[in-house]
Chain A
Amino acid sequence: MSQHAASVKQRSVPFWRNERVLRIIAQIVFLLIAFAVGTWMLFNYKQRESLFSFNFLKEEASFHLAEGIPFSPTDSYARAFLVGVVNTIRVAGLGIIFATLLGSIAGIARLSDNWLVSRIAGIYIEIVRNTPLLVQLFFLYFAVIIKLPRIQEALVLPGPVFLSNRGIVLPWVHMTDSFSSWLPFLFMALIGAVVLLIMRGRGVQRTGRPSFNLLWVGVPLIVIPWLGWLLISSAPLLPNLPEMISKSGGVLKVEGGTNLSSEFAALLIGLVVYTGAFIAEVVRAGIMAVPKGQTEAARAQGFTQGQILRLIILPQALRVIIPPLISQYLNLTKNSSLAIGIGFLDLYAVSNTMLNQSGRVVEVFLMIMASYLSMSLTISLIMNIVNRRSQIVER
C-alpha cells in the first residue's frame, strides 16, 4: 500500500498537465492577446489623431447653455462640463426624492384593501413599466408640455402656479438681508432636535421604552426658529409669488417665483413617473415579504394599525426593499441621460456639444464615463450605509 503511494508520488504530473502551470500560461496568453489588440487599436487611433490631451478644457467654449448655473460663451469647456454635471445631479437628486414618494404611495396603494385604489395603482404600474421611458418623455414633452398655451395665456393654478410652454413657474421664497442673523437660530433648532433624539434613544436603551413621544423632537425645530423670527426686526424670508405683469406695449410677462424650464419639467416628471412605477413594485414585494403572522401577532398583542406599520412591518420590509431600491436609484441617474432626446442640457447633452465643437472624442468620452461611474459609486456607497443600518437587527 505504501509502496503504491510512493510510486504515485514519483510519477509527478508533467507541466503541460499541471493545472497551476496551465492557469498561469492561460493568463499570460490572455494578457498578451489583450495587449496586442490594445496596441493595434491605439496604433489605429494614433494614425488619425495626433495628440491626446485634456488641454482643450481650458479653451473658450463659445456656445450657449441656457440651463442651470450661469454660463456665458466666453467660459471654458471645463465650466460647460460642470454645468452639465450640476444639471444631472439636480434632476437626479430631485427625481430620486419624488420617485421614492410616488413609488411608496403607489406600492402601498397596490396592496390596499380598496379594490378601486389597488386597481388604479395596478394600471399605472403596468402601463408605465411596459412602455419605454423615451416614448413617455417624447409624449410628455412634444405632445403635452410644448402644446401648453403661450406664456401670455398661461394656465394659472392656485398658488399661483403658471403653466405654459416655456415651463412651470412656482411660488418660492427669497432671503432678505436679515437671513444671516436668522441662520444661527436654525442651527440651534437642529442641535436641540438632535440632542432630544439622542436622549430618547438612550432612554429606549435603558428602560426599553421611550421616555417621551417622538413628536417632542419637533418642538425645538418649530419653537426656536419662531422665536428668532420674532426677535429679528424684519422677516428673514419673504414669499416670492410669481405674477403676470404687463410691460409697455401690452406685453405680458410672468415675474418672480422660481422657473422650471419645460425640458427640466418634462424630464423630471418623466423620470419620477417611470422610476416610481418600478419602486412601487419594489415596495410591494418588500411589504409582501413580511409574513402575515407578524401582523396578526402584533394585532393580538394590542398594537394599533399605525404602530404595526411603523414598528413591525416597515423595519422588516426595509431589509428587503433597500437593495433593489439602490439599483432603481442608479437606473434613474443613468436614465437622466435621455435628456438629450428632449433637449435638456444634462451631462451627456453638454458633452455632446463639447465634442462637436472640440472634436476631442476620446477625452470627452472618458469624462462622461468617469462622471457616471463616480455618481453610481456615490449612490451605492450612501445606500449601502443605509442598508447596513437597516440590517443591524438581524435575526
Chain B
Amino acid sequence: MTVQPEILKPPPTEVGLLGWLKKNLFSTWSNTLLTFVSVPFIYLVLSAVITWVFQDARWEVVTTNFKVFMIGRYPRKEAWRVLASLGIVVLLVLLTWISQTVKRYPMARWLVIGWLLSFPLIGVLLRGFSSENPYLPLVSEEIWSGLMLTLVLAIVGIVASFPIGILLALGRRSKMPVIKALSTVYIETIRGVPLISVLFMSQVMLPLFLPPEIRLGTVVRALTGMTLFSAAYTAENVRGGLAAIPIGQYEAARAVGLNEALVMGLIVLPQALRAMIPAIVGQFISLFKDTTLVIIVGLLELLGIAKAVTGQKEFIGLHKEVYAFAAILFFIFCYLMSYASRRLEQALGVGER
C-alpha cells in the first residue's frame, strides 16, 4: 500500500496577488524603496492628467475643428473624395491582411496590381481634373492640408524615394569608382544635414536653378525635398538588405548564366527587399513624424493646422488641448505602425539566427 503524500499548498506569500506583489514590488529592500517612491509619483502625475482631461480642458476646440484637423482647407463639398481614398486604402489593407492569413496565392498577385493602381487612382481622386469638371472639379494640391497632407507627404515621400534609393545603394556598391564616389557623397551629405536644410534647399534654392518657365508649387517642392532626403536613408536600408544576402546567391545565379542586371533584378533584390521590410517601416515612421517640419516652409499639415487653430479668436490660449490632440493622433498612427512592424518582423522571421 502506497502512502499518498500530502500535497501542501504553496504559502500564500508566493502565489496569487500577494506573490505577484512580493516578486515584482517588494523583492528586496531597494525594490521596496523604489515602490514607495514611484507610487506617489504615479499618483501625482495621474491625478494631474485626469483632472485636466476631464475637468479643466476645453475639448470643444477639437470637436468643433475636427474636420479642419483632418482635411484642412479641402472644400467641404468634396470631402467625400478624401473618404473614398481612405476607403480604397482600408479595403486594400484588409484584403492584404486576409490573403496573408488565408494563404491564397493567386489573390496576392491581384493585390500587387491593386496597390500599384491605387496610387494614380487616389491622386486623380484627390486632385480632380479641371475646375469645370462636373464630377471631380480641381482641388489644387496647394490647398491640401491637415492630416490628409501629412499622410500624402509621408506616403509619396517613401514610395518615390524607393527607386532612387535602390539606384543609390547599387551605385554605392558598384565597382565603378566615379559612380561609387558620387553615390557615397550624396548619401553621406544628406544624412549629415538636418531635414530642414534639405526642405529649405528644395523650397528656396531649387527654383533658382530651374528655368523661369518651370514653376513648381510649394507642396510639390516640399515633396521633392522629402523624397531627396528620404532616398539617402532608403539607400542605406537597401544596402543593409543587400549585405544580408549570402554571396553564394550571386555566384549560383552567375553560374546558371544570368548577367549582372538579371542577378540583381531576379535573385538578389527580391530577397534583399524582403529582409529590409522592418527597416523600411521604421523609416516610414520617422518620415511620418518628420512631415511636421514642412510647417517651417509654410505648409499646413497636421501640426500646421493645429497651430492655425490655436490662433482662432474664440479659442484663444487653448494650446494645450490642440497640441495634445495632435500628439495623440501622431501617437496612434506611429504606435500602430510600430506594432505592425513588430508583428511583421516575427512573421518574416527577420533577426532570428
- Which A positions have Cβ atoms within 8 angstroms of B? 23, 26-27, 30-31, 34, 41-42, 44-45, 47-49, 112-117, 120, 126-127, 129-136, 138-139, 142-144, 146-147, 330, 334-335, 337-338, 340-341, 348, 352, 355, 361-362, 365, 368-369, 372-373, 376-377
Contact = CB atoms under 8 A, between A and B. Distances in A.
B175 A143 contact: no
13 contacts: A27-B179, A31-B178, A44-B209, A44-B211, A114-B25, A116-B39, A116-B42, A134-B303, A139-B323, A143-B320, A147-B320, A368-B193, A368-B197
B327 interface: yes
Contact of A113 (B24, B324, B327): B24
A55 B291 CA distance: 35
A23 B303 contact: no
Contacts of B293: 134, 338
Contact of A373 (B25, B175, B177, B189): B189
Interface in B180-229: 182, 189, 192-197, 200-201, 204-205, 208-212
B192 A44 contact: no
Contacts of A368: 193, 197, 200
A365 B201 contact: yes
Interface in B5-55: 24-25, 27-28, 31, 34-35, 38-39, 41-42
Contacts of A144: 320
B176 interface: yes
B334 A130 contact: yes
B289 interface: yes
A117 B34 contact: yes
B205 A23 contact: no
Contact of B296 (A340, A355, A373): A340
B335 interface: yes
Given A27-B179, A132-B330, A340 B323 contact: no
A361 B331 CA distance: 36
B196 A338 contact: yes
Contact of B205 (A34, A138, A365): A365
B197 A372 contact: yes
B194 A45 contact: no
Given A131-B331, A134-B303, A337 B196 contact: yes
Contact of A365 (B27, B194, B200): B200
B295 interface: yes
A138 B211 contact: no
Given A26-B179, A373-B189, 9 more contacts: A27-B176, A47-B211, A114-B31, A116-B34, A120-B42, A132-B330, A134-B292, A335-B194, A340-B196
